[in-house]
Structures are given as structure tokens and as C-alpha cells.
């Protein structure tokens, strides 16, 4: 099955009880048992048919064997790190999603899980960070907002040599463009709130693995800690995933045109996009991903100018989040990355005049006119 077909026919594409083409919303908490211990489903925290259809679907489309659906991306990421114990050490990409940084440095640290943040696009830095108690490498690629690229195959080699669990947050690329499990990752996590849902109407997280033991361990954590996705949101997410391919294709086309426009605009200083040959991670990204995605960051001369642009756009909606059908625009230094001290932000390259856009599927002519008039 090819990808777009899989988004529609993967997992359980027909309700086994009624033949319904769309898996029904099984809004139920418990199930009648035919005798003590004789049941297909026991209790909906442990398993629910609607959630299970979604979990089978995400396993299929990420080239894994087992999927798990959580109430948010953060719940999924937290569950993945809960595989480890007090005294264990994790290496993570230095510009991971802000919420991931927060849970690692303000919550999981209290349980003595220690994290070292390194630039994972630098393989030597990753090797140097390995300690005797290191148990995992956690990578995001491309990153937010500067779209830095990490070489997944090379990190997987390092992880295997040291028997480390290799976890990849694949939110930005989506399974349509990139499948980390086929590049050597052990665990893929997603904020399905973004491209997978795709319509700014559901908060959800996913985990996919390809190993029986890891699947057992993740299910144990999911059932024990209970951060599951409800049936209604599971259904919404399956509905979103059906059109992931067409949305990502459309977004890719729009993004390329916007990048070209920004590069030629006199008010724009720098453009960050992995599809540019001048992007330092371009070749690596091309080798591991079939598309460049819909995220672009660019700089204008100052924060005042950036604020002015945001005030004037009509179709680019000022909002956090990304990956939706509507184009979104934000200023990382004032929004997603405001909690990072300015000095550290500048070290990371997140300048005051940096603008991040998430390209949607509106008519490209409208998007270009919108940016043109806002930048003027």
C-alpha cells in the first residue's frame, strides 16, 4: 500500500461490528463480560475500540507495529521518558520543543532522570555527552524555529553501539515525509495536535514502536498513568489523518513559493528552510525525508518590524501551534521561546526580529499578497 492509500485504508478501515466505513465513536467506559475474565475489551483506559483503530492506523503509517494514543503530545513524550528510572541519563536536542524542555528540566528531573541538551546535528557532541548511565537519545528534526537537521541514521548507529533507546519527535515532518523507525529509531513520538489532526480542533499525542517488548512497556505506562486519548478525539484524529497526504502536498507547494518570495524581498534578511541548498542540513534532510514541510522562519530588521508584520497579516493568523489548514504566524522571541533568557536565545540564533510561519492550504496568491502588504 502506498502512503495516501494507507492513510485511508490502513489500521482498521471498517468497523468489524457494523461494517461502518468510518470507525464509530465508542463512547463507553466499561464492557459486559461473558464470564469473569472473558472479554474483548475490559475498561476504556486499558483499551477502547475507537482509540484502538487510531493506534493501529498510526502504527501502520509510521512503519511500526504498535501505536499508542495520548491526551496530548506532552503526555506521549512524558510516557516515553517514563520508560527510564531514577539515576538514568538522557541526551536531548538542545532546541527541543519548549514543553519538552520544561517537562525534562522541571518535572522529570525531580524523579532523578537527568537530561543533557546538546546540538544533535553535531555527532561528536552527542558522543561526548554519553555517560555510563545514559539510556536514551531524544531527537527532534527539523527543530523549532530554526529548522536544524539531525542525521537520524548516524544517531541510530551511535545509539546501537551504546545500547541506547533512540527516540524521535516526528511532529514537524509527519509520517508522510519521514519515517524515523525505518532509519533506526526505536520510538517515534508525535504531537498529533499539529499536522496529523491538521484542523486546529484536537489536542493529541502518539507513540509508535516496532519492538514487542517496548510496546508492552509503553502500554503498561499508558494504562498505569492513564493519559489516554478519548474516543471522540481519536475519531477526529483519524478523520484528520485521511487527508494528511493531500494537505502535505499542497502545503509543500505553497511553502516553496513563499520561500522564493521571502528570499527576494528587500525587507527580509535571512530565511530558514531546509529545502534551501544553502541550509546547512539540506543534504541530510533530503537523504532521510521526502519533503521539506511547511515551516519557514525569517528575520526582519527588528522586533518592532516583526510586530508590525504580525499586526497587518489577514490570512496568516497570529497564534501558537502549527501544522493546520490555516496559515499561522508568530514571533518566537515573544511567544514560544519567551521563557528562554534573551542572551541564550541569541546564542541559539533566535533573533528578536525572527518570524515563524506555518504554511496552510489557502490559495497561494492570497498568501503572497498578504505577506507583501504586511511587509511593505
Ligand X SMILES: *Cc1c(COP(=O)(O)O)cnc(C)c1O
Does residue 230 touch ligand X according to CB under 6 A?
A: no
Shortest Å, Cβ 202 to ligand X: 9
C-alpha angle 324/328/334, rounded to 5°?
130
Query: 345 catalytic, yes or no?
Result: no
Does residue 97 touch ligand X according to CB under 6 A?
A: yes
Residue nearest to ligand X (CB): 73
- Which strands sit side by side in the sheet containing 328-330, from one edge to the other? 271-272, 295-299, 354-358, 328-330, 317-318
Shortest Å, Cβ 79 to ligand X: 12
Span near ligand X by CB under 6 A; candidates 28-36, 96-104, 148-156, 300-308: 96-104
Question: Judged by CB under 6 A, which of 175, 198, 205, 281 binds ligand X?
Answer: 205
Query: 194 catalytic, yes or no?
Result: yes
129-158: which residues touch ligand X (CB under 6 A)?
140, 144
90 strand-pairing partners: 115, 136
Nearer of residues 44 and 141 to ligand X, judged by Cβ? 141
Does residue 73 touch ligand X according to CB under 6 A?
A: yes
48 strand-pairing partners: none
Q: How many residues interact with ligand X (rule CB under 6 A)?
A: 16
- Given 3, 15, 41, 45, the catalytic residue: 45
Query: 17 catalytic, yes or no?
Result: no
Helix (H, G, I), strand (E, B) or coil at 289: coil
344 contact partners, CB below 8 Å, separation of at least 6 = none
Shortest Å, Cβ 328 to ligand X: 12
d(CA 213, CA 217): 6
- Given 60, 88, 151, 169, the catalytic residue: 169
Burial of 319 (0-12, 13-18, 19+ CB in 10 A): middle
Query: 60 catalytic, yes or no?
Result: no
In sign, the C-alpha dihedral spanning 86, 87, 88, 93 is positive
Beta strand ranges found along 20-156 (DSSP E): 66-70, 89-93, 114-118, 134-140
Question: Judged by CB under 6 A, which of 13, 150, 178, 193 binds ligand X?
Answer: 193
Nearer of residues 178 and 193 to ligand X, judged by Cβ? 193
d(CA 212, CA 242): 27
Does residue 203 touch ligand X according to CB under 6 A?
A: yes
Residues that bind ligand X (CB under 6 A): 72-74, 97, 99-100, 140, 144, 169, 171-172, 191, 193-194, 203, 205
Enumerate the active-site residues: 45, 97, 169, 194
Amino acid at each position: 500500500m502506498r502512503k495516501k492509500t494507507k492513510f485511508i485504508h490502513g489500521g482498521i478501515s471498517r468497523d468489524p461490528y457494523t461494517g461502518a466505513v468510518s470507525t464509530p465513536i465508542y463512547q463507553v467506559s466499561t464492557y459486559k463480560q461473558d464470564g469473569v475474565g472473558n472479554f474483548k475489551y475490559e475498561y476504556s483506559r486499558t483499551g477502547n475500540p475507537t482509540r484502538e483503530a487510531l493506534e493501529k492506523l498510526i502504527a501502520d503509517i509510521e512503519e511500526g507495529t504498535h501505536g499508542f494514543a495520548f491526551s496530548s503530545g506532552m503526555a506521549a513524550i512524558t510516557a516515553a521518558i517514563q520508560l527510564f528510572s531514577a539515576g538514568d541519563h538522557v541526551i536531548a536536542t538542545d532546541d527541543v520543543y519548549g514543553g519538552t524542555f520544561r517537562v525534562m528540566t522541571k518535572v522529570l528531573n525531580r524523579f532523578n532522570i537527568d537530561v543533557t541538551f546538546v546540538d544533535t546535528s553535531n555527532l561528536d557532541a552527542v558522543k561526548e555527552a554519553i555517560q555510563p548511565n545514559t539510556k536514551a537519545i531524544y531527537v527532534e528534526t527539523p527543530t523549532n524555529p530554526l529548522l536544524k537537521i539531525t542525521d537520524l541514521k548516524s544517531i541510530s548507529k551511535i545509539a546501537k553501539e551504546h545500547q541506547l533507546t533512540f527516540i524521535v519527535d516526528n511532529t514537524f515532518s509527519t509520517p508522510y515525509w519521514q519515517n524515523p523507525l525505518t532509519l533506526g529509531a526505536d520510538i517515534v513520538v508525535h504531537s498529533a495536535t499539529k499536522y496529523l489532526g491538521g484542523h486546529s480542533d484536537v489536542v493529541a499525542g502518539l507513540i509508535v514502536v516496532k519492538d514487542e517488548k517496548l510496546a508492552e512497556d509503553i502500554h503498561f505506562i499508558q494504562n498505569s498513568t492513564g493519559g489516554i486519548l478519548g474516543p471522540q478525539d481519536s475519531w477526529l484524529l483519524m478523520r484528520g489523518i485521511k487527508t494528511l497526504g493531500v494537505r502535505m502536498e499542497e502545503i509543500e507547494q505553497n511553502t516553496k513559493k513563499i520561500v522564493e518570495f521571502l528570499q527576494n524581498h528587500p525587507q527580509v534578511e535571512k530565511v530558514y528552510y531546509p529545502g534551501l541548498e544553502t541550509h546547512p542540513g539540506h543534504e541530510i534532510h533530503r537523504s532521510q525525508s521526502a519533503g521539506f514541510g511547511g515551516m519557514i522562519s525569517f528575520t526582519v530588521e527588528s522586533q518592532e518590524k516583526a510586530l508590525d508584520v504580525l499586526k497587518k497579516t489577514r490570512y496568516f493568523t497570529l497564534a501558537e501551534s502549527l501544522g493546520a489548514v490555516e496559515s499561522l504566524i508568530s514571533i518566537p522571541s515573544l511567544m514560544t521561546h519567551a521563557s528562554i533568557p534573551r542572551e541564550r536565545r541569541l546564542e541559539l540564533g533566535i533573533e528578536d526580529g525572527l518570524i515563524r510561519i506555518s504554511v496552510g492550504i489557502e490559495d497561494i496568491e492570497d498568501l503572497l499578497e498578504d505577506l507583501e502588504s504586511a511587509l511593505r
